[in-house]
Amino acid sequence: MPLVVQKYGGSSVHDAAAIKRVAARIVATKKAGNDVVVAVSAMGDTTDELIDLANAVTSAPHPREMDILLTAGERISMAILAMAIRELGVGAQSFTGPQAGVITTAHHGSARIIDVAPSRVQKAVADGDVAIVAGFQGVNVDNQDVTTLGRGGSDTTAVALAAALGADVCEIYTDVDGVFSADPRIVPAARKLDRVSYEEMLDFAASGAKVLMPRCVEYARRYNVPIHVRSSFSYLEGTWVVADQEEGDTMEEPIIAGVASDRSEAKITVIGVPDVPGSAARLFEAVANSGANIDMIVQNVSATATGVTDISFTLPTGSVDAAHLAIEEDRDAIGYEKLVVDDTIGKISLIGAGMKSSSGVSAKFFAALRDSGINIEMISTSDIRISVVTRSEALDDAVRAVHTAFGLDSSDGEAVVYGGTGR
């Protein structure tokens, strides 16, 4: 019998009525002849409410206690969901992360999954029941305490369960219909993608698309778990995230999957850094020690006359203050003139696995931006992605211009760019 792992996020289970709808969908999947294992997030705003409660009693919640607190959220949703499924006449058993055998590192709040030993889940499925597993949680391999997986944790739980159980598919239910060629709020003509590769999806995720977190996609790629991203509000096919195509198939694949955009980053420019070996290393050591994840880096071509250079990098807006402080504290060792923070940037990324075998993509991308009068501040590329930093206010125009230039608009279906060379 096929085994389907489904994941429902907080917005899909935000109240009792929503949970009943999810239960009906699970029962329909079961009755269609599948074994079903479900990973579920906490209901709606539960996690935020619990965080507020913690903040009301302490300025620095202890990480172990915070994880104990937050895991109450999935405990509630999983039990209610199991009850709602039983109400429809199908057996269901709920399991916490520890009970489901999700074994993690000891890093409370951002634990990594080490192993999954889902014997209780397997037994429930063998008994003909639907197994409901709390997303986002695991058990500390060192001492059996509960841990949480941090951002994207519930998706990762679902993929990890699918991998450990050898599931046929991992369905990630969300509030959108799938992965789009661009953000539909910016580009109304954006198309839902039927299929993207793990690599493309990783670049989408790293470039601002919120539908799946990179860690979940990485896990799926490593264990080759097919992901089906789809809406919990419809029965439409969503987007399949699968392994890259065999060589023979690529002729039919579009070069470009889509355009991602991101306003969540800021730019720090460090001016007047001595152009000597070690200065940049010292700078980025300080930033790394502050806990910030750097995205793009640009160093000016050094002006030999002055012997100094400018270095710009982007990082999540939420990390700016800590990074800023870390650099200032190390000012003497780095030896720079001044530091400028710019939080009005936007990043546009063009993503497509076909790009690596196709020339001229970059030229077309830059031409589209130029023709729209959009200034490029930073550039970074990988073999399947080109990213550019612009002014935040120019970002939406940039996305629309590029989306159109590559024939991605759905009203322009004939013009979709298919594989080949020389374009």
Q: What are the residues binding a copy of itself (CB under 8 A)?
A: 16, 19-20, 23, 50, 53-54, 56-62, 64-66, 68-69, 71-73, 75-76, 78-80, 82-84, 86-87, 92-94, 96, 99, 144
Closest CB to a copy of itself among 133 and 169? 133
Handedness of CA 207, 210, 212, 214 (dihedral sign): positive
The whole-angstrom separation of Cα 163 and Cα 222 is: 9
Q: Are strands 385-391 and 345-351 parallel, antiparallel or unpaired?
A: antiparallel
- Closest approach of a copy of itself to the CB of residue 110, in Å: 18
Classify 153 in phi/psi space as left (phi over 0), alpha (psi -120 to 50) or beta: alpha
- Closest approach of a copy of itself to the CB of residue 99, in Å: 8
Closest CB to a copy of itself among 63 and 226? 63
Closest CB to a copy of itself among 5 and 70? 70
Half-sphere exposure of 154 (CA within 13 A, CB side): 29
The whole-angstrom separation of Cα 8 and Cα 80 is: 13
Q: What angle do CA 373, 378, 379 make, to 5 degrees?
A: 95
Closest CB to a copy of itself among 134 and 196? 134
Closest CB to a copy of itself among 47 and 181? 47
- Closest approach of a copy of itself to the CB of residue 231, in Å: 22
- Closest approach of a copy of itself to the CB of residue 15, in Å: 8
The whole-angstrom separation of Cα 282 and Cα 311 is: 12
Amino acid at 103: I
Closest CA to 183 of 259, 241, 237: 259
Tokens found for residue 94: 């709920």
- Closest approach of a copy of itself to the CB of residue 125, in Å: 17
- Closest approach of a copy of itself to the CB of residue 58, in Å: 4
Closest CB to a copy of itself among 87 and 127? 87
The whole-angstrom separation of Cα 287 and Cα 283 is: 7
- Closest approach of a copy of itself to the CB of residue 143, in Å: 9
Closest CB to a copy of itself among 7 and 108? 108
* Burial of residue 294, with CB atoms counted within 10 A of its CB: 0-12 exposed, 13-18 middle, 19 or more buried: middle
